[in-house]
Chain A
Amino acid sequence: MEKKMAAKNKPNELYLERIFVAPVKKVWEAWVDPDQAAKWWGPRGFTITTHHKDVRTGGTWSYIMHGPDGVNYPNETQYLEVEKYSKLVYDHGGYKDKPPLFRVTVVFTEISGKTKMEMTMALSSPEAAAQTKVFIKKANGNSTWDRLAEYLSTKDNFVINRSFEAPIDLLFEMWSNPHHFSQWLAPIGFTLKFLKADVKVGGTSFYCMSGENGMKMYGKVNYLEITKPTQIVYTQIFCDENENVTRHPMAPTWPETMLTIVQFFKEDDNQTRVSLTWAPHGETTKEELETFKNSRAGMTQGWTGSFDKLDDFLVKTTI
Protein backbone atom coordinates (compact mmCIF):
# COMPACT_ATOMS: atom_id res chain seq x y z
CA MET A 1 0.00 0.00 0.00
CA GLU A 2 2.82 2.41 0.81
CA LYS A 3 4.30 1.80 -2.62
CA LYS A 4 0.99 2.64 -4.19
CA MET A 5 0.87 5.89 -2.21
CA ALA A 6 4.10 7.09 -3.70
CA ALA A 7 3.11 6.15 -7.23
CA LYS A 8 -0.45 7.42 -7.11
CA ASN A 9 -0.11 11.14 -7.47
CA LYS A 10 0.88 12.58 -10.78
CA PRO A 11 0.01 16.27 -10.58
CA ASN A 12 -2.75 15.98 -13.20
CA GLU A 13 -4.39 13.01 -11.48
CA LEU A 14 -6.78 12.44 -8.62
CA TYR A 15 -6.60 9.18 -6.74
CA LEU A 16 -9.20 7.42 -4.62
CA GLU A 17 -9.22 4.11 -2.82
CA ARG A 18 -12.01 2.19 -1.13
CA ILE A 19 -12.44 -1.27 0.34
CA PHE A 20 -15.85 -2.88 -0.04
CA VAL A 21 -16.98 -5.79 2.12
CA ALA A 22 -17.98 -7.96 -0.85
CA PRO A 23 -16.24 -10.26 -3.33
CA VAL A 24 -15.06 -8.65 -6.56
CA LYS A 25 -17.72 -10.44 -8.62
CA LYS A 26 -20.46 -8.72 -6.63
CA VAL A 27 -18.78 -5.32 -6.90
CA TRP A 28 -18.26 -5.74 -10.63
CA GLU A 29 -21.88 -6.70 -11.21
CA ALA A 30 -23.15 -3.81 -9.12
CA TRP A 31 -21.12 -1.65 -11.46
CA VAL A 32 -21.99 -3.06 -14.88
CA ASP A 33 -25.64 -4.08 -14.40
CA PRO A 34 -27.73 -0.95 -15.10
CA ASP A 35 -30.49 -2.00 -12.67
CA GLN A 36 -27.96 -2.33 -9.86
CA ALA A 37 -26.06 0.83 -10.80
CA ALA A 38 -29.36 2.74 -10.62
CA LYS A 39 -29.44 2.00 -6.90
CA TRP A 40 -26.16 3.67 -6.03
CA TRP A 41 -24.51 5.60 -8.90
CA GLY A 42 -24.15 9.34 -8.39
CA PRO A 43 -23.96 11.63 -5.37
CA ARG A 44 -26.48 11.14 -2.58
CA GLY A 45 -29.88 12.48 -3.59
CA PHE A 46 -29.37 11.78 -7.29
CA THR A 47 -31.13 9.13 -9.34
CA ILE A 48 -30.27 7.89 -12.82
CA THR A 49 -32.04 6.59 -15.92
CA THR A 50 -30.01 4.38 -18.23
CA HIS A 51 -30.84 4.41 -21.92
CA HIS A 52 -28.17 2.05 -23.03
CA LYS A 53 -25.27 0.27 -21.36
CA ASP A 54 -22.70 -1.91 -23.02
CA VAL A 55 -19.68 -2.50 -20.78
CA ARG A 56 -17.23 -3.78 -23.38
CA THR A 57 -14.09 -2.31 -24.86
CA GLY A 58 -15.43 0.24 -27.33
CA GLY A 59 -18.91 0.17 -25.76
CA THR A 60 -20.82 3.05 -24.22
CA TRP A 61 -23.10 3.80 -21.30
CA SER A 62 -25.62 6.48 -21.95
CA TYR A 63 -27.62 7.71 -18.96
CA ILE A 64 -29.23 10.75 -17.42
CA MET A 65 -28.47 11.87 -13.89
CA HIS A 66 -31.43 13.50 -12.17
CA GLY A 67 -30.33 15.99 -9.54
CA PRO A 68 -32.26 16.46 -6.30
CA ASP A 69 -33.23 19.92 -7.57
CA GLY A 70 -34.84 18.41 -10.68
CA VAL A 71 -31.98 19.29 -13.06
CA ASN A 72 -31.06 16.56 -15.56
CA TYR A 73 -27.48 15.84 -16.57
CA PRO A 74 -27.06 13.64 -19.65
CA ASN A 75 -23.89 11.54 -19.72
CA GLU A 76 -22.17 9.28 -22.17
CA THR A 77 -19.37 7.09 -20.92
CA GLN A 78 -16.96 5.56 -23.44
CA TYR A 79 -15.30 2.32 -22.38
CA LEU A 80 -11.72 2.10 -23.59
CA GLU A 81 -10.64 -0.98 -21.71
CA VAL A 82 -12.73 -3.64 -19.99
CA GLU A 83 -11.20 -6.58 -18.18
CA LYS A 84 -13.92 -8.50 -16.40
CA TYR A 85 -13.60 -8.49 -12.59
CA SER A 86 -10.37 -6.52 -12.64
CA LYS A 87 -10.14 -3.33 -14.64
CA LEU A 88 -12.13 -0.55 -16.32
CA VAL A 89 -10.80 2.41 -18.27
CA TYR A 90 -13.36 4.96 -19.43
CA ASP A 91 -13.88 8.57 -20.39
CA HIS A 92 -16.35 10.24 -18.06
CA GLY A 93 -18.58 13.28 -18.34
CA GLY A 94 -18.82 13.71 -22.09
CA TYR A 95 -22.05 13.95 -24.05
CA LYS A 96 -22.50 14.40 -27.81
CA ASP A 97 -20.28 17.41 -28.69
CA LYS A 98 -19.23 17.98 -25.10
CA PRO A 99 -15.77 16.49 -24.56
CA PRO A 100 -15.20 14.12 -21.62
CA LEU A 101 -14.12 15.67 -18.32
CA PHE A 102 -11.56 13.06 -17.41
CA ARG A 103 -10.29 9.55 -18.02
CA VAL A 104 -10.90 7.06 -15.26
CA THR A 105 -8.92 3.92 -14.54
CA VAL A 106 -10.46 1.60 -11.96
CA VAL A 107 -8.65 -1.47 -10.69
CA PHE A 108 -10.45 -4.04 -8.56
CA THR A 109 -8.51 -6.46 -6.37
CA GLU A 110 -10.06 -9.09 -4.16
CA ILE A 111 -8.37 -9.53 -0.79
CA SER A 112 -9.80 -12.27 1.45
CA GLY A 113 -13.39 -11.76 0.38
CA LYS A 114 -13.20 -7.97 0.33
CA THR A 115 -12.62 -5.83 -2.73
CA LYS A 116 -10.14 -3.01 -3.01
CA MET A 117 -11.09 -0.40 -5.58
CA GLU A 118 -8.35 1.91 -6.78
CA MET A 119 -9.50 4.74 -8.96
CA THR A 120 -7.35 7.23 -10.86
CA MET A 121 -8.89 10.20 -12.64
CA ALA A 122 -6.59 11.74 -15.21
CA LEU A 123 -7.14 15.35 -16.33
CA SER A 124 -5.55 17.49 -18.99
CA SER A 125 -3.48 19.54 -16.54
CA PRO A 126 -2.66 19.91 -12.84
CA GLU A 127 -4.90 23.01 -12.78
CA ALA A 128 -7.82 21.05 -14.19
CA ALA A 129 -7.19 18.35 -11.59
CA ALA A 130 -7.23 20.91 -8.77
CA GLN A 131 -10.49 22.40 -10.09
CA THR A 132 -12.12 19.00 -10.44
CA LYS A 133 -11.09 18.11 -6.90
CA VAL A 134 -12.91 21.18 -5.61
CA PHE A 135 -15.90 20.45 -7.83
CA ILE A 136 -16.20 16.84 -6.64
CA LYS A 137 -16.04 17.97 -3.03
CA LYS A 138 -18.70 20.62 -3.58
CA ALA A 139 -20.99 18.22 -5.45
CA ASN A 140 -20.49 15.60 -2.71
CA GLY A 141 -19.32 13.36 -5.55
CA ASN A 142 -17.53 10.88 -3.32
CA SER A 143 -20.78 10.03 -1.53
CA THR A 144 -21.42 7.69 -4.44
CA TRP A 145 -18.83 5.32 -2.90
CA ASP A 146 -20.70 5.42 0.41
CA ARG A 147 -23.83 4.52 -1.49
CA LEU A 148 -22.06 1.62 -3.19
CA ALA A 149 -20.79 0.38 0.19
CA GLU A 150 -24.34 0.56 1.56
CA TYR A 151 -25.73 -1.19 -1.49
CA LEU A 152 -23.21 -4.03 -1.17
CA SER A 153 -23.82 -4.55 2.54
CA THR A 154 -26.12 -7.38 3.56
CA LYS A 155 -27.66 -5.58 6.50
CA ASP A 156 -28.42 -2.27 4.79
CA ASN A 157 -25.57 -0.60 6.62
CA PHE A 158 -25.26 3.14 6.97
CA VAL A 159 -21.89 4.33 5.59
CA ILE A 160 -20.19 7.71 5.64
CA ASN A 161 -16.61 8.68 4.73
CA ARG A 162 -14.72 11.92 5.23
CA SER A 163 -11.10 12.95 4.67
CA PHE A 164 -9.39 15.21 7.19
CA GLU A 165 -6.20 17.24 6.95
CA ALA A 166 -4.45 15.58 9.86
CA PRO A 167 -2.19 12.59 10.51
CA ILE A 168 -3.79 9.22 11.19
CA ASP A 169 -2.56 9.05 14.82
CA LEU A 170 -4.28 12.32 15.65
CA LEU A 171 -7.57 11.21 14.08
CA PHE A 172 -7.41 7.99 16.06
CA GLU A 173 -6.86 10.06 19.20
CA MET A 174 -9.91 12.21 18.40
CA TRP A 175 -12.10 9.10 18.62
CA SER A 176 -10.37 7.05 21.29
CA ASN A 177 -9.77 9.81 23.83
CA PRO A 178 -13.12 10.72 25.47
CA HIS A 179 -11.87 14.23 26.29
CA HIS A 180 -11.37 14.97 22.59
CA PHE A 181 -14.39 12.96 21.44
CA SER A 182 -16.79 14.96 23.60
CA GLN A 183 -15.45 18.23 22.19
CA TRP A 184 -16.73 17.71 18.68
CA LEU A 185 -19.34 14.96 18.58
CA ALA A 186 -22.40 16.58 20.15
CA PRO A 187 -24.75 18.60 17.93
CA ILE A 188 -24.99 22.37 18.49
CA GLY A 189 -27.02 23.07 21.60
CA PHE A 190 -25.98 19.78 23.21
CA THR A 191 -23.16 18.81 25.54
CA LEU A 192 -21.65 15.36 25.66
CA LYS A 193 -20.20 14.25 28.96
CA PHE A 194 -18.60 10.92 29.79
CA LEU A 195 -19.67 9.84 33.28
CA LYS A 196 -17.50 6.75 32.97
CA ALA A 197 -14.89 5.93 30.35
CA ASP A 198 -12.93 2.74 30.00
CA VAL A 199 -11.64 2.73 26.46
CA LYS A 200 -10.21 -0.75 26.02
CA VAL A 201 -11.41 -3.98 24.47
CA GLY A 202 -14.17 -5.29 26.74
CA GLY A 203 -14.43 -1.92 28.50
CA THR A 204 -17.56 0.22 28.86
CA SER A 205 -18.19 3.95 28.73
CA PHE A 206 -21.31 5.67 30.01
CA TYR A 207 -22.26 9.09 28.70
CA CYS A 208 -24.89 11.74 29.01
CA MET A 209 -25.96 14.03 26.19
CA SER A 210 -27.74 17.06 27.58
CA GLY A 211 -29.60 19.72 25.65
CA GLU A 212 -29.97 23.40 26.47
CA ASN A 213 -33.65 22.76 27.17
CA GLY A 214 -32.75 20.39 30.02
CA MET A 215 -33.34 17.21 28.02
CA LYS A 216 -30.97 14.40 28.94
CA MET A 217 -30.19 11.22 26.99
CA TYR A 218 -27.97 8.49 28.36
CA GLY A 219 -26.06 5.84 26.49
CA LYS A 220 -23.60 3.05 27.02
CA VAL A 221 -20.72 2.12 24.74
CA ASN A 222 -19.00 -1.28 24.71
CA TYR A 223 -15.67 -1.55 22.92
CA LEU A 224 -15.25 -4.70 20.85
CA GLU A 225 -12.06 -3.87 19.02
CA ILE A 226 -9.41 -1.18 19.30
CA THR A 227 -6.56 -1.38 16.84
CA LYS A 228 -4.36 1.69 16.98
CA PRO A 229 -4.39 3.62 14.66
CA THR A 230 -6.63 1.91 12.10
CA GLN A 231 -9.87 0.70 13.69
CA ILE A 232 -12.32 1.11 16.58
CA VAL A 233 -15.42 -1.07 16.85
CA TYR A 234 -18.07 -0.46 19.48
CA THR A 235 -21.70 -1.09 20.26
CA GLN A 236 -24.08 1.47 21.64
CA ILE A 237 -27.34 1.25 23.58
CA PHE A 238 -29.64 3.82 25.09
CA CYS A 239 -30.16 3.72 28.86
CA ASP A 240 -31.60 5.68 31.74
CA GLU A 241 -29.51 7.54 34.31
CA ASN A 242 -28.99 4.30 36.25
CA GLU A 243 -27.54 2.51 33.23
CA ASN A 244 -30.65 0.37 32.68
CA VAL A 245 -31.19 -0.40 29.01
CA THR A 246 -34.03 1.56 27.40
CA ARG A 247 -35.36 1.94 23.89
CA HIS A 248 -34.70 4.80 21.54
CA PRO A 249 -36.58 7.78 22.99
CA MET A 250 -37.99 8.73 19.58
CA ALA A 251 -38.70 5.30 18.09
CA PRO A 252 -39.34 2.34 20.41
CA THR A 253 -38.90 -0.17 17.58
CA TRP A 254 -35.44 1.13 16.70
CA PRO A 255 -32.82 -1.68 17.07
CA GLU A 256 -31.75 -1.94 20.69
CA THR A 257 -28.04 -2.35 19.99
CA MET A 258 -26.25 -0.55 17.20
CA LEU A 259 -22.75 -1.39 16.00
CA THR A 260 -20.32 1.31 14.89
CA ILE A 261 -17.14 0.50 12.97
CA VAL A 262 -14.72 3.39 12.61
CA GLN A 263 -11.79 2.84 10.27
CA PHE A 264 -8.88 5.17 9.62
CA PHE A 265 -7.01 5.18 6.32
CA LYS A 266 -3.80 7.08 5.77
CA GLU A 267 -4.15 9.00 2.51
CA ASP A 268 -0.86 10.78 3.02
CA ASP A 269 1.20 12.01 6.00
CA ASN A 270 -1.23 14.80 6.76
CA GLN A 271 -4.45 13.40 5.33
CA THR A 272 -6.64 10.70 6.82
CA ARG A 273 -9.91 9.25 5.66
CA VAL A 274 -12.39 8.21 8.33
CA SER A 275 -14.87 5.56 7.28
CA LEU A 276 -17.86 5.03 9.55
CA THR A 277 -20.21 2.06 9.23
CA TRP A 278 -23.33 1.75 11.32
CA ALA A 279 -25.66 -1.25 11.54
CA PRO A 280 -28.02 -3.07 13.90
CA HIS A 281 -26.10 -5.49 16.11
CA GLY A 282 -26.71 -8.89 17.69
CA GLU A 283 -30.10 -10.51 17.85
CA THR A 284 -32.38 -8.05 16.15
CA THR A 285 -36.09 -8.68 15.76
CA LYS A 286 -37.67 -8.50 12.34
CA GLU A 287 -39.49 -5.39 13.46
CA GLU A 288 -36.24 -3.69 14.46
CA LEU A 289 -34.60 -4.53 11.15
CA GLU A 290 -37.61 -3.23 9.23
CA THR A 291 -37.51 -0.04 11.27
CA PHE A 292 -33.87 0.44 10.43
CA LYS A 293 -34.40 -0.30 6.74
CA ASN A 294 -37.50 1.86 6.45
CA SER A 295 -35.70 4.83 7.90
CA ARG A 296 -33.41 5.19 4.91
CA ALA A 297 -33.74 8.47 3.08
CA GLY A 298 -35.46 7.99 -0.22
CA MET A 299 -36.29 4.45 0.85
CA THR A 300 -34.51 3.04 -2.14
CA GLN A 301 -32.89 0.07 -0.45
CA GLY A 302 -35.36 -1.88 1.63
CA TRP A 303 -38.27 -1.37 -0.68
CA THR A 304 -37.63 -2.67 -4.13
CA GLY A 305 -39.54 -3.02 -7.36
CA SER A 306 -42.96 -1.50 -7.16
CA PHE A 307 -41.74 1.02 -4.68
CA ASP A 308 -39.70 2.91 -7.22
CA LYS A 309 -42.87 4.68 -8.18
CA LEU A 310 -43.47 5.69 -4.64
CA ASP A 311 -40.01 7.19 -4.53
CA ASP A 312 -40.74 9.27 -7.58
CA PHE A 313 -43.93 10.36 -5.99
CA LEU A 314 -42.18 11.44 -2.83
CA VAL A 315 -39.54 13.35 -4.72
CA LYS A 316 -42.22 15.18 -6.65
CA THR A 317 -44.35 16.00 -3.66
CA THR A 318 -41.69 17.00 -1.20
CA ILE A 319 -39.55 19.41 -3.22
Chain B
Amino acid sequence: MSVDSLSLTFNALADPTRRAILSRLSSGETSVSELAKPFLKEMSAPAITKHLKVLEKAGLIRKGRQAQWRPCKIEAKGLKEVADWMETYRQFWEESFDRLDEYLKTVTSKNNGKKNGGKK
Protein backbone atom coordinates (compact mmCIF):
# COMPACT_ATOMS: atom_id res chain seq x y z
CA MET B 1 0.00 0.00 0.00
CA SER B 2 1.90 3.05 -1.19
CA VAL B 3 1.41 6.58 0.08
CA ASP B 4 0.22 7.90 -3.24
CA SER B 5 -2.28 5.20 -4.06
CA LEU B 6 -3.93 5.46 -0.66
CA SER B 7 -4.40 9.23 -0.78
CA LEU B 8 -5.68 8.96 -4.36
CA THR B 9 -8.25 6.46 -3.17
CA PHE B 10 -9.36 8.68 -0.29
CA ASN B 11 -9.69 11.66 -2.62
CA ALA B 12 -11.67 9.64 -5.12
CA LEU B 13 -14.08 8.49 -2.43
CA ALA B 14 -14.63 11.98 -1.04
CA ASP B 15 -17.15 12.80 -3.80
CA PRO B 16 -20.83 11.72 -3.65
CA THR B 17 -21.17 11.20 -7.43
CA ARG B 18 -18.17 8.93 -7.48
CA ARG B 19 -19.54 6.97 -4.55
CA ALA B 20 -22.86 6.63 -6.41
CA ILE B 21 -21.00 5.35 -9.48
CA LEU B 22 -19.21 2.75 -7.37
CA SER B 23 -22.46 1.76 -5.76
CA ARG B 24 -24.01 1.14 -9.18
CA LEU B 25 -21.01 -0.88 -10.27
CA SER B 26 -21.24 -3.06 -7.18
CA SER B 27 -24.18 -4.89 -8.74
CA GLY B 28 -22.06 -5.92 -11.73
CA GLU B 29 -20.06 -4.61 -14.67
CA THR B 30 -21.74 -2.37 -17.17
CA SER B 31 -20.92 -0.22 -20.19
CA VAL B 32 -19.75 3.33 -19.70
CA SER B 33 -22.80 4.76 -21.49
CA GLU B 34 -25.18 2.65 -19.42
CA LEU B 35 -23.39 3.72 -16.28
CA ALA B 36 -23.61 7.41 -17.20
CA LYS B 37 -27.35 7.42 -17.91
CA PRO B 38 -28.79 8.21 -14.44
CA PHE B 39 -26.26 11.01 -13.92
CA LEU B 40 -26.89 12.83 -17.21
CA LYS B 41 -29.80 14.73 -15.70
CA GLU B 42 -27.45 16.45 -13.27
CA MET B 43 -24.24 16.77 -15.26
CA SER B 44 -22.61 16.66 -18.66
CA ALA B 45 -21.07 13.57 -20.23
CA PRO B 46 -17.55 15.04 -20.02
CA ALA B 47 -18.09 15.61 -16.28
CA ILE B 48 -18.96 11.96 -15.85
CA THR B 49 -15.95 10.90 -17.90
CA LYS B 50 -13.83 13.00 -15.58
CA HIS B 51 -15.26 11.25 -12.51
CA LEU B 52 -14.58 7.88 -14.10
CA LYS B 53 -10.99 8.92 -14.80
CA VAL B 54 -10.48 9.84 -11.15
CA LEU B 55 -11.89 6.49 -10.05
CA GLU B 56 -9.74 4.65 -12.57
CA LYS B 57 -6.59 6.49 -11.57
CA ALA B 58 -7.28 5.64 -7.92
CA GLY B 59 -7.52 1.97 -8.85
CA LEU B 60 -11.17 1.72 -7.82
CA ILE B 61 -12.55 0.79 -11.26
CA ARG B 62 -11.22 -0.69 -14.47
CA LYS B 63 -12.37 0.09 -17.99
CA GLY B 64 -12.23 -2.43 -20.81
CA ARG B 65 -10.73 -1.49 -24.15
CA GLN B 66 -13.07 -3.21 -26.62
CA ALA B 67 -14.27 -0.80 -29.29
CA GLN B 68 -17.99 -1.53 -29.15
CA TRP B 69 -18.63 -2.62 -25.62
CA ARG B 70 -16.62 -0.70 -23.08
CA PRO B 71 -17.29 -2.53 -19.87
CA CYS B 72 -16.58 -0.76 -16.63
CA LYS B 73 -16.04 -2.77 -13.48
CA ILE B 74 -15.20 -2.26 -9.89
CA GLU B 75 -11.72 -3.04 -8.61
CA ALA B 76 -12.19 -4.66 -5.23
CA LYS B 77 -8.53 -4.45 -4.26
CA GLY B 78 -8.55 -0.66 -4.22
CA LEU B 79 -11.54 -0.53 -1.91
CA LYS B 80 -10.13 -3.19 0.34
CA GLU B 81 -7.08 -1.01 1.03
CA VAL B 82 -9.29 1.78 2.32
CA ALA B 83 -11.52 -0.55 4.28
CA ASP B 84 -8.42 -1.97 5.94
CA TRP B 85 -6.99 1.38 6.89
CA MET B 86 -9.02 1.85 10.08
CA GLU B 87 -8.70 -1.86 10.73
CA THR B 88 -4.94 -1.43 11.00
CA TYR B 89 -5.52 1.08 13.81
CA ARG B 90 -7.89 -1.29 15.53
CA GLN B 91 -5.31 -4.02 15.27
CA PHE B 92 -2.67 -1.64 16.57
CA TRP B 93 -4.71 -0.97 19.71
CA GLU B 94 -5.65 -4.61 20.23
CA GLU B 95 -1.99 -5.57 20.07
CA SER B 96 -0.88 -2.69 22.27
CA PHE B 97 -3.48 -3.78 24.81
CA ASP B 98 -2.08 -7.33 24.67
CA ARG B 99 1.37 -5.93 25.38
CA LEU B 100 -0.01 -3.78 28.20
CA ASP B 101 -1.61 -6.89 29.66
CA GLU B 102 1.76 -8.67 29.68
CA TYR B 103 3.60 -5.60 30.91
CA LEU B 104 1.14 -5.17 33.80
CA LYS B 105 2.03 -8.66 35.02
CA THR B 106 5.72 -7.79 35.23
CA VAL B 107 4.95 -4.54 37.05
CA THR B 108 2.57 -6.09 39.57
CA SER B 109 4.89 -9.02 40.34
CA LYS B 110 7.75 -6.58 40.93
CA ASN B 111 5.58 -4.57 43.26
CA ASN B 112 4.56 -7.67 45.14
CA GLY B 113 8.08 -9.11 45.29
CA LYS B 114 10.14 -6.18 46.45
CA LYS B 115 9.15 -2.91 47.89
CA ASN B 116 9.95 0.03 45.66
CA GLY B 117 9.85 -2.02 42.42
CA GLY B 118 12.47 -0.12 40.45
CA LYS B 119 14.20 -1.04 37.24
CA LYS B 120 16.49 -4.03 36.98
Contact = CB atoms under 8 A, between A and B. Distances in A.
B86 A183 contact: no
Contact of A290 (B13, B102, B103): B13
A297 B14 contact: no
Interface in B18-48: 19-20, 22-23, 26-27
Contacts of A127: none
Interface in A156-182: 158, 160, 162, 164-166, 170-171, 174, 180
Interface residues of A, number: 45
Contacts of A124: none
Contacts of B95: 187-188
B104 A166 contact: yes
A310 interface: yes
Interface in B35-76: 74, 76
B23 A307 contact: yes
Given A307-B23, A314-B79, A318-B80, A253 B11 contact: yes
Given A187-B92, A251-B3, A297-B90, A291 B14 contact: yes
A1 B5 CA distance: 50
A259 to B, nearest CB: 14
B83 A184 contact: no
Contact of A183 (B22, B23, B27, B103): B103
Contacts of B14: 253, 286-287, 290-291, 294
Interface in A246-272: 249-253
Contacts of B3: 249-252
Contacts of A291: 10, 14
Contacts of A165: 101, 104
A299 interface: yes
A100 interface: no
Interface of B: 1, 3, 6-7, 10-11, 13-14, 19-20, 22-23, 26-27, 74, 76, 79-80, 82-87, 89-90, 92-97, 99-104, 107-108
14 contacts: A171-B104, A174-B104, A287-B14, A291-B10, A295-B10, A295-B82, A296-B86, A297-B83, A297-B84, A297-B87, A313-B26, A313-B76, A314-B76, A314-B79
